[in-house]
Structure formats: structure tokens, C-alpha cells
Amino acid sequence: MKIAISTDGHDLNSRVEHRFGTSRYLIIIDTETMAFEIVPDLGANGQGSGMQAVAVAIDRKVDMVLTGYCSPMGEEYLSAHNIKLLTGVEGTVGEVIARYQNGDYDYPRPSVPDDRISRDKLIHALKVSGEQIFKIMPIILGVILLIGLFQVFVTEEWVSFIFTGNRALDTFLGACFGSLIAGNPINSYIIGGELLDFGVGLFGVTAFILAWVNVGLIQLPAEAAALCWRFALVRNGLSFVLSMLIATLTVGILSFI
């Protein structure tokens, strides 16, 4: 049997993280051989709302997930792929596996948040909050640097040469430029504001923002590794087309308001 466990480390002595989808790692263990694989949890950076961990569990064809808590949506997807879920799990990975093999856990358990406050959970919450603040700092610095670089290297003449004012062409070009890099929404707003100041129309800017957040060709290999190439290519292609369509509809509706 293959079991996926949310954890804060990369060995059997690591502690089980409370919430599935926001842990640093997933440990996938074969309970017969005790061979295990360490998978960095892509949902820990805040993108995907934990569904990255669900995708990894499905892709690795695990039989069960052990964790502290899993969201109802995550639980629904796991159940749809015949993956059992056991929540309320605490301790180290090695301890949890031993308890599971000894039959110490009752299955199934209701997947509900544990509202009890303990010293360990408080320390863990403060630790996670500090880590999140530390992760946000590069974004803040990136925004500051991005504004400076944009003002220095991107001139109004260059932008006017690319975006000619043709609504259809500007929408397409905005989606193309936005698709090159998977960006944080905050950065897309900064660049979008600068493009508006340079005279780019709302069609191009809106398509740029939508594609920047939803497409991201630079992370295509990582997405394909987690979800398969077919899914990654279809999702990115549809996101690219829909970014242009939604941009057109958004600006069109805005003109009637």
C-alpha cells in the first residue's frame, strides 16, 4: 500500500503537518518495503490552494492520505480517485506509520478542523506565520524592483510600437506577453498600470493580466511533471484562449456600465 503523508521534513523523523496542501513536503511510503519518496508540496507557496498536493497524490496513485486536516474539496477529489483519507493524525512520520500498521487508527474519521489550542499548535502557527511573512518579502522587493526596471528599460515609444491600438491585435499580444512568465497577481497589476500610463488599451492590458496569472509557460515543465503533459498543454492552451475572450467580454461589459 502507498501512503502519502503531509510533513515538515524529508525523513521518517519529520513531524506530520496539520493541514494537507500547505505542508513543506509530502512523503509517499510503500508500507510493504518502507521505501519512500519525498515530494516538495507546490501548494506550500500559496498557489493552488492545496490542490497541488491532491494532484500529486492522484498522480502517484497512492491508496491513502494521512494528515491533520484536509479541506472538503480536497477530500472530494481524493475520494473520486478512490484514495482514502485519514485525518487527525499527529506525531512523526515513523510513529504514524507504526500506529497505522498496528491498527491504532479508526477509519474513517470526520475531516473537520481541530479547534483545540495547544502550546505545540500555537508555536507551529507562529512559525508558519513567520515563514509566510518571510516568503512575502521577496514579492514586495520584487514589486519595487519591477517598477524601477520597467520605468528604465521599457519606454513609451517601444510600447507604442508593439501595441498599435488595434483591439484584436493588442488583445492577442497582451495574452502572448502575459503567458511568457507565471507571475504573481500583484506584479501583473503593477505592469498593467504602467502599460495603461503608456497608452495601451484596456483590451491588451486585461488580456495581459489574465494570461500572466493563469498561463505561465515558464512553469509548464513542472506542471507537466505533476499533472502530465496532456493536461498541462490543454489547460495552458484553454487559459490562453479564455484570457483573450474574457478580456474582450470584460472591457465590452465595462463600456456599457
- pLDDT, tens digit (0-9, with 9 covering 90-100), for 139-155: 666 656 656 665 666 66
Cross-strand pairs, 40: 25
Is 4 strand, coil or helix?
strand
**Helix pair 220-227, 229-256: axis angle to 10 deg:** 120
Using CA atoms, how far apart are residues 169 and 175, in angstroms rounded to an integer? 10
Q: What is the pLDDT of residue 112?
A: 47
All structural domains of the chain with their residue ranges:
2-115, 154-256
Task: Tell which wins on pLDDT, 242 or 45.
Answer: 242
Residue 19 DSSP label: B
Say what percent of the chain tops pLDDT 90: 6
Q: Is the predicted pLDDT of residue 21 greater than 70, yes or no?
A: yes
Question: Which residues are CB-contacts of 7 (< 8 A; sequence separation ≥ 6)?
Answer: 14, 15, 16, 17, 23, 24, 25, 26, 27, 93
Picking from 36-40, 72-76, 140-144, which range would have the lowest pLDDT averaged per residue?
140-144
Q: With contact defined as beta carbons under 8 Å apart, do 68 and 16 qualify?
A: yes
Q: Are strands 84-86 and 64-66 parallel, antiparallel or unpaired?
A: parallel
| Model confidence pTM above 0.75 | no
Using CA atoms, how far apart are residues 141 and 136, in angstroms rounded to an integer? 9
CB burial of residue 92 (10 Å; 0-12, 13-18, 19+) = middle
Using CA atoms, how far apart are residues 205 and 248, in angstroms rounded to an integer? 11
Using CA atoms, how far apart are residues 228 and 212, in angstroms rounded to an integer? 21
* pLDDT, tens digit, 9 for 90 and up, residues 83-124: 888 888 888 888 888 888 888 776 555 444 555 555 666 676
Using CA atoms, how far apart are residues 41 and 54, in angstroms rounded to an integer? 10
Say what percent of the chain tops pLDDT 70: 79
Q: With contact defined as beta carbons under 8 Å apart, do 87 and 75 qualify?
A: no
Mean pLDDT of the chain: 79
CATH hierarchy code of domain 2-115: 3.30.420.130
Q: Is the predicted pLDDT of residue 190 greater than 80, yes or no?
A: no
Q: Is the predicted pLDDT of residue 240 greater than 80, yes or no?
A: yes
